[in-house]
Amino acid sequence: MGVVQEKSVITVELPQNPYDVVIAPGGLDHLGAWILDHGKQRKLGKKMLLVSNPSVFDLYGQRAIASLEQAGFDVAYHLIPDGEPHKTLASVEGIYDAAYAHRMERSSAIVALGGGIIGDMSGFAAATWLRGIQFIQVPTSLLAMVDASIGGKTGVNHPLGKNLIGAFHQPRLVLIDPQMLDTLPVREFRAGMAEVIKYGVIWDADLFEQLDATADLSEYAAVPVSLLQTILLRSCQAKAIVVSKDEKEAGLRAILNYGHTIGHAIESITGYTAVTHGEAVAMGMVAAGEIAVQLGMWSKALSDRQTALIRKAGLPAHSPAGLDHDQLVTLLQADKKVEDGKVRFILPTGIGTVEIVNEVSADVVRHVLRQIEA
C-alpha cells in the first residue's frame, strides 16, 4: 500500500445519511480499507460492483480492484464508454445487468470510478437497484472531485434535456485522490477550475484571494501541490456545508448554480460537445457578474477581477461566436430551475456572497450577451 502524506476528512452533516469526503494523495490504494472505516452506521456486504469507463479503468481500475479485494470485497466491474451521449437509461440498464449477474444484495455497493458522468449514472443505478443500495464515489476529474461527487445528485439525460431523470441518493464515502489529476486532460482540469472559482465567488472570499494570488491556474502541473490540496479542501467544504443545510435544493443549494443559468443554455445550444460544462459555467459566471453590475449589485471592478481569474485558469470569458441570443433567452425559460415561469439567476453581491434573484428582464440579459460576445 502506498504512503499517504496528508489525509483530510470533511463530513457532510446530513441527519439521515452523514458521510465523509476523504482527500488524500495516494488514497486510491486505501479505498477498500477506508470504505470499511467510514460510514460504519450502514451495514455493508461483501459484493461490490465497480463502474468506470475504459480510459479511466486502464489507468486506475486494477489498483482500485486490488485495494477492494485486499479489504475482503468480492468485486465485479462494468465499463461504459466515455462521454455525454452515453449518459442514458440504456447505460444504466447495463449497470443493472452487471448487478444482477454479480448477485448484488441490498447491502452491496456500487463504486463509481470516473468523472461526473460515471458518478451520476452509478449513483442513479444504486438509488434504484433493489430500491436502493449503497454507493461510493471515487471521482477522477477535478469537476467531479469538487462538485458532482458530493451532494447526492444522480441521474441521466433524457433525449429532450440534460439530467431530467434522476434521484437524490447520497454516497457512503467520497474518496478524492488528487494524484489522479496528473492524467486528466488539460481541458478537463480547466473545466473543474471553473467550479473552484465559483466557490470563491459564492462562498469563500479567502479561496478567491488565494486563487487571485496564484500566477497560473491553467493546468495541474502549474498549481503547487499545497495549493491544490487547499483548493480541494475549501471547495469540498463549501459544497458539504451548503448540501448539509439544504440537501434537496429547497433554497440555499441553488447558489451552487451560479453561472449555470446561462451556462446550461450555452451548453444546450452548442450541442453539449463544442463547449465543456466548465467552459459554459465560466461564460455563465462572466454573464452573471455583468448582470449584477447592470442591476447595481456588484462593482465593475469585482466583475473584472472575476473575468481575469477565469482567463488565468485558461477558461473562456466570452460567449461562443455566432451564439443566437433569441434562442438563448427562449431556452432560459425552459430550464428546469425556472419557477412560476421566472428565470432564476444567482448574482454576486461581493466576493463570497450571492443573492438569488428571480426577476431579471430579458433586456438586461440581451444587453449583457452583446457585451460578452466573442
Residue 135: its H or E element: strand 134-139
Phi then psi for 49, rounded to 5 degrees? -115, 115
Element (H, E) at 136: strand 134-139
CB of 233 to ligand GLY, least distance (A): 18
Where does this chain touch ligand GLY (CB under 6 A) — which range of 145-153, 174-182, 186-194, 306-314?
145-153
Cα 319–325–330 angle (5° rounding)?
125
147 binds ligand GLY (CB under 6 A): yes
In this complex, which beta carbon is closest to ligand GLY, that of residue 263 or of residue 352? 263
Which grid coordinates are listed for 338?
Answer: 425556472
Cell of 39: 460510514
The 10 Å Cβ neighbour count of residue 6 is: 14
Query: For ligand GLY, which is the closer residue by CB, 7 or 245?
Result: 245
Distance CA(25)–CA(57), nearest Å, equals 18
Give the nearer residue to ligand GLY in terms of CB position, either 153 or 190: 153
Of the candidate spans 17-25, 146-154, 178-186, 356-364, the one that interacts with ligand GLY by CB under 6 A turns out to be 146-154
Cell numbers standing for residue 73:
470485497
Where does this chain touch ligand GLY (CB under 6 A) — which range of 51-59, 128-136, 147-155, 299-307?
147-155
The per-residue DSSP string of 58-105 comes to: IIIIHHHHHHHHHTT-EEEEEE--SSGGG-SHHHHHHHHHHHHHTT--
C-beta of 228 vs 242, nearer to ligand GLY: 242
Residues 236 to 255: which contact ligand GLY by CB under 6 A?
A: 253
SS3 of 369, please?
Answer: helix
3-state secondary structure of 206: helix
Q: Least distance to ligand GLY from the beta carbon of 78, Å?
A: 25
> Cβ(307)–Cβ(371) under 8 Å?
no
CB of 11 to ligand GLY, least distance (A): 17
Cβ–Cβ < 8 Å for 333, 300: no
> Is 153 an interacting residue with respect to ligand GLY (CB under 6 A)?
yes
Q: For ligand GLY, which residue of 39, 119, 123, 151 counts as binding (CB under 6 A)?
A: 151
Q: Whole-number minimum distance, CB 369 to ligand GLY, in Å? A: 23
Number of residue whose CB is nearest ligand GLY: 256
Does 264 contact ligand GLY by CB under 6 A? no
Kindly tell me which of 152 and 352 has the beta carbon lying closer to ligand GLY. 152
Fill in the DSSP letter of residue 182: G
Residues 97-126 that bind ligand GLY (CB under 6 A): none
For the bound state, the minimum distance from the C-beta of residue 332 to ligand GLY, rounded and expressed in Å, comes to 18
Nearer to ligand GLY, 129 or 258 (CB): 258
Burial 75-89 (b: 16+ CB within 10 A, else e): bbbbbbebebebbbe
Q: Closest distance between ligand GLY and the C-beta of residue 237, in Å? A: 14
Distance, CA of 236 to CA of 241 (rounded, Å): 8
Residue choice 110, 256, 265, 286 for contact with ligand GLY (CB under 6 A): 256
Of the pair 38, 153, the CB lying nearest ligand GLY is at 153
* Least Å from the CB of residue 254 to ligand GLY: 8
Long-range contacts, 246-252 (Cβ 8 Å, 24+): 247/14, 247/151, 247/152, 247/168, 247/170, 248/168, 251/356
Size of the site for ligand GLY (CB under 6 A): 5
The grid coordinates of residue 276 equal: 465543456
Rounded to 5 degrees, φ, ψ at 112 are -95, 115
Active site (catalytic) residues: 131, 153, 195, 239, 249, 253, 257, 260, 264, 277
Query: Which residues sit at the interface with ligand GLY, rule CB under 6 A?
Result: 147, 151, 153, 253, 256
